[in-house]
Each structure stands twice: as structure tokens, then as C-alpha cells.
Amino acid sequence: MIQSQGYAAQQSTTPLAPFSFTRRDPKERDVVVEIEYCGVCHSDIHSTRNEWGNAIYPMVPGHEIIGRVTAIGSGVSRFKAGDRVGVGVIVDSCRTCASCRNNEEQYCEVGVTLTYGAYDRYGELTQGGYSNNIVVDEHFVHAISTKLDPAGVAPLLCAGITTYSPLRHWQVGPGKKVGVVGLGGLGHMGLKFAHSFGAHVVQFTTSESKIADAKRLGADEVVISKNADAMKKEANSFDFILDTVSAVHDLNAYLSLLKRDGVYCQVGLPDRPPVINMGNLLFKRRSLSGSIIGGMAETQQMLDYCADHNIVSDVEIIPIQRINEAFERVVKADVKYRFVIDMASLGKR
């Protein structure tokens, strides 16, 4: 067994605290990664606090993992010791269902194995990236260019692919008018990608204070969503709107902004269902859709695109000793735009 150190929640009401545990010795196709950085995703907070009702403890969260390969199994072909690599939200899937065979492992019909808080095919509880190492099948490990700042790359493994995949699926690019709702960890990546793909991008926000930042990140226009007149001016004009907000909010005000055949895609996951005025869909043949992360091939494609176009997340680096304070600040949306843990802090006080 491999010895691991990390920070875990022991139950839903306790703060994260130091925790020692073991991981499996590498099997034939496994890669052992020494973790350098791990992003702090809002899911980590929902999960450790059992806000989705399916938590298994003790739980070491973290699924935006960057590190270096330290060992490989005998059958590993894509990586060698010393390579910089990334691990995201899932670490296994069935590999044989229609979705897996179509490189859409995230929609595996048998069910994916989450990077933390799930039982894997060996019956072991998975533990995430708020730790010094991880053992993962190479199919779920990504090559990371050393051209980019590794701390800024970490959030690409969840926030990046979550926004990149739907923008690609619905072919956002030149000549398209695209809206991004919410400017947080997900939203700021959606904005960067939509801008980079050549679309005309409109950022929606509730806060005047975010206008300058949205423009810096690539918005052509910023609309304050509380301003009914400003919203009305945008009616029937969008090809695609990416909604990154996970708090319950009114979708109808946005649906009416889509053109005929426009698509509204939800990537935030509110904990209560929205009320939809079906007229907003029927009368313009609009679609309401959703999307979650991306397949392994597409995730690699996204990482390569980011290396070619010099795209990383805007991050605030913290030592792991400040993780509980960082959770509180994420809940208050007080971060620009992602906390990333420097895992070198783990052995320090």
C-alpha cells in the first residue's frame, strides 16, 4: 500500500483536518501521481458537508489535480516518471457501454467512479486531491504542458472542461452571439473560452462591480441581469446561453433572450427544480439543455487548446492550512476566481 497524507472531513459538520490513509499499489495500467496543486471546486463544499445527501466519510475532497508522475504500472504506455499530469472529476467508468465507446465516459450508462467519495471497482473508497498523492488508471490521467502555470491549470480539470465541452458541442464560434450567466469559477472559464472561440460574448451578472473584470476576461458586452430594460433590449438575439449559476434563479428571463432554435445550457446544479414557462420554449422552438464535464479525449483536447492559446484559470493560491477559511469565502463568492491549494504546504505547520 502507498501511504498518503491529506485533509479530510470526518463528518458533515466537522471542518477539514489532517488525515493519514493508504492508496492501492499501482496495478498494470495505474499511474502514481505526486500532487503539486489542487483546485477548490464548489462541489468539494457540497460533498464534504453532505449537501447532496450521498457523502461517505472520511472524505478527502479535490478533483482539480495537477502533479508529477512518480511511478507507473507495467502496462502504462502514455506516461513516464517525471511527466506533469492532471486528474479531474472521474477516475473510472465501465469502458464498454455506448457512451464510453463514444469517448463520452462522463455519461457512462453503468455509472462513473468519482475521484473522491465513491467506491471503486476494487471496493475501495476513493479519496481526492487535497492530499500528497493519488493512484489512477492512465485512461483517466491527462498530459499537461509545462508551458502553462500549473496552479492556473488545475481548475481546467473541472471548471475548464465543464464550460469547454458544451461550447464545443453547440459549436460556439465566429458569427454566434453567446451569453454567459454568472461570473465565478465556471463562468470566468466559459467567458474565456467563448471569447477565444471567436463568438460575440455577453456576460450577465447581478453586480455592477464585475463589469470591468468581465471585459478584461473577454466579454464584448456586460448586462446587469436585474435591469429589466437592459434585459429586454437583448430579447430574441442569442444563439446560445451558458448558465453557470448553481443557486436557484429564474430561467425565464434568460430563455426569452434566445433566438428561434437557440439553446440554453445549464452547467450549474441548483438544489431545487426551476419553474419554466413553456411558452418560452414553444414559441421559438428553443431548447433547454444541460451538460456535465467532458470525456477523457475531449478533456485532453481542451488542455492542449489551453496550452496553444495560453489559457489558464485566474487563481488565488493558498496553503492547505487555510482550506476551511477558503470554503467560507467560496460560499460567499469572495474569490477571483478559484482557490488552488499549493500541496507543498501539506508537511508544514
Q: List residues binding Zn ion (CB under 5 A).
A: 41, 43, 93-94, 97, 100, 108, 110, 158
Element (H, E) at 341: strand 338-342
Angle at 50 between CA 329 and CA 342, to 5 degrees: 45
Taking the complex as a whole, the smallest distance from the CB of residue 338 to Zn ion amounts, in Å, to: 10
Smaller CB separation from Zn ion, 45 or 231: 45
Which stretch of DSSP H or E encloses residue 153? helix 150-153
Closest separation in Å from C-beta 89 to Zn ion: 6
3-state secondary structure of 186: helix
Give bridge partners of residue 142 from the DSSP assignment: 86
Tell me the C-alpha distance between 322 and 162, whole Å. Answer: 26
Q: How far is the CB of 101 from Zn ion (least distance, A)?
A: 8
Which residue's CB is nearer to Zn ion, number 71 or number 94? 94
Distance CA(297)–CA(208), nearest Å, equals 38
Q: Please, what is the minimum distance in Å from the beta carbon of residue 181 to Zn ion?
A: 18
Query: Of 100 and 222, which has the nearer Cβ to Zn ion?
Result: 100
User: Of 235 and 269, which has the nearer Cβ to Zn ion?
Assistant: 269
3-state secondary structure (DSSP) of residue 302: helix
Residue closest to 296 by CA, chosen among 103, 30, 38: 103
Q: How near is the Cβ of 131 to Zn ion at its closest, in Å? A: 16
Query: Of the two residues 165 and 280, which places its CB atom closer to Zn ion in the complex?
Result: 165
Which residue number, 65 or 223, has a Cβ lying nearer to Zn ion?
A: 65
Considering the complex, state which of residue 188 and residue 200 has its C-beta at the smaller distance from Zn ion: 188
Query: For cell 458541442, what's the residue?
Result: 169
Q: Which amino acid is at 6?
A: G
Pick 223 or 306: Cβ nearer Zn ion: 306
Smallest distance, Zn ion to C-beta of residue 339, A: 12
Q: What is the DSSP string of 72-99?
A: E-TT--S--TT-EEEE-SEEE--SSSHH
Shortest distance (Å) from residue 123 CB to Zn ion: 19
Residue whose entry in the numeric block shows the C-alpha cell 476566481: 337
Closest to Zn ion by CB, 93 vs 163, is 93
Q: Which residue has the cell 481542451?
A: 302
Least gap, CB of 21 to Zn ion (angstroms): 21
Nearest-CA neighbor of 142 among 26, 38, 31, 25? 31
CB of 227 to Zn ion, least distance (A): 31
CB 103 within 8 A of CB 295: yes
CA–CA separation, 95 vs 137, rounded Å?
12
Torsion-angle region of 17 (φ positive above 0: left; ψ -120 to 50: alpha; else: beta)? beta
